[in-house]
Structure 1
Amino acid sequence: MTEVLLTNDDGIDADGLAALYEELRAIGDVTVVAPTENQSGVGRERSSYVTREDHPWGYAVDGTPADCVAYGLRGLDADFDLVVSGCNHGPNLGAYVLGRSGTVGAAMEAAFLGTPAVAVSAYHTREFFVRPPDAHDFDPPARVARDVVERALAEGVFDAVDVVNVNAPIEDADAKVRLTRPDVDFDLHVERHEDTADLPVDVEDDQDVIGLQDSLWPHVVGWENPMPGIDEHRERYDVGTERRAVIDGEVGVSGLTAPRNAVETDALGRVVDAVDGSRASVPDAGDE
């Protein structure tokens, strides 16, 4: 029987987690260790100390998703075959997003600790984000996640892949499943706000408010739904990229690695040699 550690970043009471818990129980023993509250967008942030409390499915941890995985893999008397994180209440796609996602961050924490992982995120093909979550049925993305988990384990996917990142539409149980890769483009729009009355920040008299908005994706003003003009952007993204899969209403499945792989180039080698040489030619202060 497969031993699965299940977590998320939306909190232990999240609808997406509940749907995934029920599906995964059909293929293995599932232990939940999830945050007590929403921890979206914290990436792989870790804490030095956390508190925990019992939950009918496992434990609620007052910490980040990565804290939950660290505790589950090293603090419980269990040998987990796989960590599953999700279902997130919104997509996680694009290389720059994966680094800030709590859902993917939990999966990456597992990978660094030597346990393969699957990160699962649900999206709405017209409204992008799944809001409010209790108005939606998370069964379709949970079912495809179960299928991916079963087949990935059977095919030996995790011999070469550390994390499988899945983005699935919430309203289409029969969506096409496509092998994808994260998009790598990224840019920001930075703006100083004069009118701060409706902004979710506390502002002192001597402070300015600077807005930092992603300008490439998801092509929205603020966080409005649905995304305006999405058909105009379809051809901008190649078939096989995560964003194109979401635009086309498909299930995107990407294989990721956890290590920060070193890149050695001749140019970098010349930099090291030059810096090392210049330091060697400078007399030590004690020699003067």
Structure 2
Amino acid sequence: MELDSDPHILLTNDDGIDAPGIRALYDALQAVGTVTVVAPDRNRSAVGRSLSYGRTRSSPDDLSLDLEADSFTSPVPHTDHELGYAVDGTPCDCAIVGVNALDPKPDIVVSGCNSGANLGAYVFSRSGTVSAAMEAAFLETPSIAVSMDTLGYDGELEPTDFERAADITATIVGGAPGTGLFDRVDYLNVNVPRPGLEPNGYAITRPTRVYEMDATVEDGSFQLTNKLWQQMSNRDIPDPEDTDRHAVLEGQVSISPLRIPYDVVDTEAVRTIIEGIL
């Protein structure tokens, strides 16, 4: 799908509409298109592709499945916000509402910028950030998920900390028209190294398939340990050189071109296009 030269951009996230990452993207993307924000009214991280559809709402955080529901339509409450619309729902709710209810319809969906990297094939169905981009792709709308590594970063994040992520996203969105990029890919998963690191270019990558999650019983309680994040915090991870996590640990911006649901596309063809954009 070819992008318009002055695209209508739907911006969403999973950290909530008041998060600094979405503000940084909002400011940067206005230079390359018209931006409408439809984002969760609070943090909805790691909800994956969850929907509010068909679920009860006895309290703001209760999304219990209502097996007795006899309606095919579910309300998704929202309030006006200075950036757009704050939705009492999930990132995928926001993507569906934004793609189908806005007039004019968006030409592209941008999800992020997430505070924390979304690296590896295993994370796609778990991450709210990537899930919103994937939802848009299923609805035949090109999309970009954008995340920033924050492991080892001390201090409260501000919009300025996401400047690198915002700039590269705006450059891709602004440069994509006429390249055929989104004829080849359904969505991009972009991960940016943590703030303060010296820029080291970018890499066209594939999501790593290395996955280590451990579980133990300690004093009668189950414990989960994410060994990958443990290793990544030490900047020591066994990923092949062409993968997303390897690139980020090398200080590079990782750009993974994908087709729904998780397929990697011809990276060499996409590399040529991205090189022309960046």
Q: TM-score, structure 1 length as denominator? A: 0.76
CA distance in 1, matches of 2:198, 2:160: 13
Summarize deviations over 1:259-282 as a string: whole Å, max 9, x none: 478xxxxxxxxxxxxxxxxxxxxx
Where do residues 69-218 of structure 1 align in structure 2 (5 Å cutoff)? 69-124=95-150, 127=152, 132-134=156-158, 137-169=161-193, 170-172=195-197, 174-194=199-219, 208-215=220-227, 217-218=228-229
| Structure with the larger RCO, 1 or 2 (CA within 8 Å, 6+ apart) | 2
1:153–1:43 CA distance, 2 compared to 1 (3 A)? farther
Structure showing greater Rg:
1
1:154–1:54 CA distance, 2 compared to 1 (3 A)? same
Kept in 2, the 8 Å contact 1:141–1:173? The answer is: no
Amino acid of the structure 1 residue aligned with 2:176 = A
The equivalent residue for 1:26 is 31
- How far does residue 210 in structure 1 lie from its aligned partner after superposition? 1.3
Kept in 1, the 8 Å contact 2:210–2:239? The answer is: no
The equivalent residue for 1:264 is none
CA distance in 1, matches of 2:198, 2:94: 30
The farther-off stretch of 25-34 and 139-148 is 139-148
* Counterpart check, 1:219 vs 2:230: yes
Kept in 2, the 8 Å contact 1:140–1:173? The answer is: no
CA distance in 2, matches of 1:121, 1:260: 17
Kept in 2, the 8 Å contact 1:9–1:40? The answer is: yes
Amino acid of the structure 1 residue aligned with 2:204 = L
1:186–1:31 CA distance, 2 compared to 1 (3 A)? same
1:131–1:41 CA distance, 2 compared to 1 (3 A)? farther
TM-align CA RMSD: 2.1
Match of 1:252 among 244, 254, 262: 254
* Counterpart check, 1:56 vs 2:85: no
- How far does residue 172 in structure 1 lie from its aligned partner after superposition? 4.4
1:66–1:89 CA distance, 2 compared to 1 (3 A)? same
Q: TM-score, structure 2 length as denominator? A: 0.79
Amino acid of the structure 2 residue aligned with 1:186 = Y
The equivalent residue for 1:7 is 12
Kept in 1, the 8 Å contact 2:110–2:144? The answer is: yes
* Counterpart check, 1:39 vs 2:44: yes
CA distance in 1, matches of 2:261, 2:255: 19
CA distance in 1, matches of 2:187, 2:83: 24
Fraction of identical pairs, as percent: 44
- How far does residue 8 in structure 1 lie from its aligned partner after superposition? 0.4
Kept in 2, the 8 Å contact 1:89–1:130? The answer is: no
For this pair of structures, how many residues does the alignment match? 236
